[in-house]
Amino acid sequence: MRGVDFKWYDGFFLSMLATSVIIVGVNWKRYHSCIYPLHIWIVVDYMTVFIFRLLMFVDNGLAAGMGLDFGWQQRQARFCGRIVVLTIIALLLYPFLWVWTIIGSLWFNNARNCLPEEGQKWGFLIWLLFSYCGLVCIACLCTGKFLARRQAHLLRDQHGPSFSEFGVLVDMIRVPEWAFDVGQEMRGMGQDATAYHPGLYLTPAQREAVEALIQELPKFRMKAVPTDCSECPICLEEFHVGNEVRGLPCAHNFHVECIDEWLRLNVKCPRCRCSVFPNLDLSALSDIQPEPERPSSANSYARTQAAPSTHILRLLHPVSSGHPESSPPATEHSGSVEV
């Protein structure tokens, strides 16, 4: 699975677990002299740690497939999968390991003299120390990541801390760590980090303005499938005659649902990476007030957009979008097609 990121120390760790389980299995009957079942404790603890690490691999694989180069359906499915996996890890396995490690410490303190060999005693003690250190490190690491995300929300929110801690947790699942690091690097380079995931960090006024710009882009119904672009680059499904597509200023076309969802997250064309709204100023949009009687900046910007290239329009049939100003160009192109 992509993104599993299996390291050499994972192999060493798993081999150590397997060796310890074999040793405990060979000396299984010798543990019966103990008051508490230390052999059962260590086997259960080993298996829980193994499942914990295995689920971490699964989560890494799911997170690796949540980039914007994947389709919306795949990203949503992996998001739901991460919720299930992380719920099992955070709400079941992690608390269980804390309780089980404390129980093991009490059992070992009361029955350490019954262990088969002196080496077994030290091995048990080292494993307990290793368990406590691992659990504390996981808690510190998760807390640090949470605080980093919370600080990022504070820096990006222009109207004060209007977000919730629950929203930060959802953001940590929806935007994987690697994507968040990319955004932070872009911010450190002086670029606007919201260009990567603007839908997560824009204010309501900015979202409304961006949505208006998206809806101003022309929509068409395919009359023929172009040979140089036979599938939607976002969902990777083939175009068919009659499909409703939206054209970008760079003359690339996508399914309406796919490109609308994409542009809510990234304002660049997924095919050529050109800016769809080169004159868009997010900082200026933060002051826009939704007043119906005043022309919006989205409408004024839409009038400056370049029309898609003519050879693409010959394959497309215009769809009425409810904007009178866009109707005359569409009719003109439609008439040229009929000729």
Q: Is residue 2 domain-resident? A: no
Q: Do 14 and 146 sit in the same domain of this protein?
A: yes
SS3 322: coil
Q: Is residue 60 domain-resident? A: yes
Cα 70 from Cα 265, distance rounded (Å): 12
Please give the pLDDT value at position 304. Answer: 42
pLDDT tens readout for residues 92-140: 999 999 999 999 999 888 776 666 666 677 778 888 898 999 999 999 9
The answer to whether the beta carbons of residues 303 and 329 sit under 8 Å apart is no
Task: List b or e across 207-226, with b for residues whose CB sees 16 or more CB atoms inside 10 angstroms.
Answer: eebbbbbbebbbbbebeeee
Q: pTM above 0.85?
A: no
Q: Is residue 254 domain-resident? A: yes
Please give the pLDDT value at position 178. Answer: 67
pLDDT tens readout for residues 11-38: 777 777 777 777 777 767 766 667 778 8
* CATH for 219: 3.30.40.10
Cα 246 from Cα 4, distance rounded (Å): 36
| Domain closes at, from 124, 150, 176 | 150
For residue 300, name the pLDDT band (cuts at 50, 70, 90): very low
Please state whether beta strands 219-222 and 253-255 pair in parallel, antiparallel, or not at all (unpaired): unpaired
pLDDT tens readout for residues 206-233: 778 788 888 888 888 888 887 777 788 7
Q: Is residue 249 domain-resident? A: yes
- The stretch 233-254 carries a mean pLDDT of 84
Region of poorest pLDDT, from 126-135, 175-184, 193-202: 193-202
Please give the pLDDT value at position 292. Answer: 47
The answer to whether the beta carbons of residues 223 and 315 sit under 8 Å apart is yes
Q: Is residue 70 domain-resident? A: yes
Region of poorest pLDDT, from 169-173, 188-192, 212-216, 218-222: 188-192
Cα 333 from Cα 339, distance rounded (Å): 10
Q: Is residue 175 domain-resident? A: no
Range of the domain at 324: 202-338
| Domain closes at, from 150, 168, 188 | 150
- For residues 58, 62, 63, 68, the Cα torsion angle rounded to the nearest 10 degrees is 170
Domain count, the chain: 2
| Rounded alpha-carbon distances, angstroms, from residue 267 to 171, 276, 280 | 19, 6, 9
Q: Do 130 and 221 sit in the same domain of this protein?
A: no
Q: Is residue 160 domain-resident? A: no
Q: Do 15 and 132 sit in the same domain of this protein?
A: yes
The answer to whether the beta carbons of residues 248 and 168 sit under 8 Å apart is no
